Structure formats: C-alpha cells, structure tokens
C-alpha cells in the first residue's frame, strides 16, 4: 500500500471514530436531566454539576434525589481542590435551594 493510501485510510478511520463518538455524546444533550447526569459522571468532584443535576431532578419530580444531589454539591465543594469562588457559590446556591424547598413544603 502506498503512503497516500495509508494517509487516506488513517484519516478516514479517524473521521469514523469521531463520528461515532459524537453520536454517543449527543445522547447526553437529550434533556436537562441527561445533560447534568452526564456532567456528574464526567466531573464527580466538581460542585456545579451536582448543583444543576439536583435542579434538573427536582424539575423531573424526583425530590429526594434532588436533595441528595444538592447535599453532594455541598460536600464536594468542601474538597481542597475546589477553588474558593466555586466553594462559596455551591454552598450558597445549594443551601438556598434546600431552604426554598423546605419553605415550599411547609405551605
């Protein structure tokens, strides 16, 4: 096989692999719930995906799972690798969400 054919074969194979990977990745964008579910799988040690996943769970009617996700966001925010601005934002937003849910349930 000549050099030119090898290049075409390698580029074609690479394009095929990228197309398959893109097709699989597009499934994560099906809904807000699948998007943030994918995000927490890809970045389990970042607080913001857990925070947004909790919100998506609540909107899907999965209250107890939403609370667990927000609590996880707060725990992850306490990890030493999390920048201070992310730590503060996650604690504040997750705390607000939990307090608002408690207020709404009290009505």
Q: Is the pTM of this model over 0.85?
A: no
Residue 34 in contact with residue 11, Cβ under 8 Å? no
Residue 87, burial from CB neighbour count under 10 angstroms (0-12, 13-18, 19+): middle
Query: How far apart are the C-alpha atoms of 42 and 16, rounded to whole Å?
Result: 23
**pLDDT by residue (tens digit) across 45-102?**
999 999 999 999 999 999 999 999 999 999 999 899 988 888 888 888 888 888 888 8
Query: SS3 of 1, please?
Result: coil
Query: How far apart are the C-alpha atoms of 54 and 58, rounded to whole Å?
Result: 6
């Amino acid at each position: 096989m000549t050099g030119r054919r090898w290049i075409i074969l390698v580029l074609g194979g690479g394009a095929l692999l990228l197309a398959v990977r893109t097709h699989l990745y597009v499934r994560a964008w099906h809904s807000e719930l699948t998007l943030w579910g994918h995000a927490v799988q890809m970045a389990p040690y970042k607080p913001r995906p857990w925070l947004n996943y909790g919100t998506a769970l609540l909107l899907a009617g999965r209250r107890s799972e939403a609370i667990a996700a927000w609590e996880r966001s707060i725990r992850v925010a306490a990890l030493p690798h999390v920048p201070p601005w992310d730590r503060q934002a996650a604690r504040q937003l997750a705390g607000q969400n939990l307090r608002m849910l408690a207020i709404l349930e009290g009505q």
